[in-house]
């Protein structure tokens, strides 16, 4: 499940301009999606990282990657637990671009 969700997230980052109006296509230099299962509280942490060699931000691509990865986990596991919750999506860190560096 986690491997499929990782691939789905990477694909989603590359298709962000097709999904979000006014989000223009970017030549991403890196997309990574890491999913970490926590058996203690039955959760999965998803962290998406995107990079670009240009001056624009790639937050939307990272958020899209993480969101689609989470949706994929839900889709593949809903037969076992329909009560799953997708929560707390946020930008953790941003560097470069016009607005400079930022950290949550």
Tell me what pLDDT residue 50 has. Answer: 97
Tell me what pLDDT residue 100 has. Answer: 82
Tell me what pLDDT residue 60 has. Answer: 96
pLDDT tens for the chain, residues 1 to 104: 999 999 999 999 999 999 999 999 999 999 999 999 999 999 999 999 999 988 888 999 999 999 999 999 999 999 999 999 999 999 999 988 778 889 99
Give the span between the Cα atoms of 65 and 90, in whole angstroms: 12
Among 18, 75, 81, 101, which one carries the catalytic annotation? 75
Task: For residue 41, indicate whether it is catalytic.
Answer: no
Extract the tokens encoding 92. Answer: 């953790």
Tell me what pLDDT residue 22 has. Answer: 93
Q: How many separate domains does the chain show? A: 1
Write the CATH number for 22.
3.30.70.640
Which residue, 43, 48, 41, 31, is CA-closest to 73?
Answer: 43
The parent domain of residue 28 ranges over 2-103
Give the span between the Cα atoms of 67 and 63, in whole angstroms: 6
């Amino acid at each position: 499940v986690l491997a499929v969700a990782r691939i789905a997230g990477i694909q989603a980052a590359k298709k962000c301009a097709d999904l979000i109006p006014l989000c223009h296509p970017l030549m991403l230099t890196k997309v990574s999606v890491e999913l970490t299962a926590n058996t203690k509280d039955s959760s999965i942490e998803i962290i998406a990282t995107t990079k670009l060699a240009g001056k624009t931000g790639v937050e939307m691509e990272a958020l899209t990657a993480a969101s689609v990865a989470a949706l994929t986990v839900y889709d593949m596991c809903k037969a076992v637990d329909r009560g799953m919750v997708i929560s707390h999506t946020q930008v953790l860190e941003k560097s470069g671009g016009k607005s400079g560096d930022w950290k949550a």
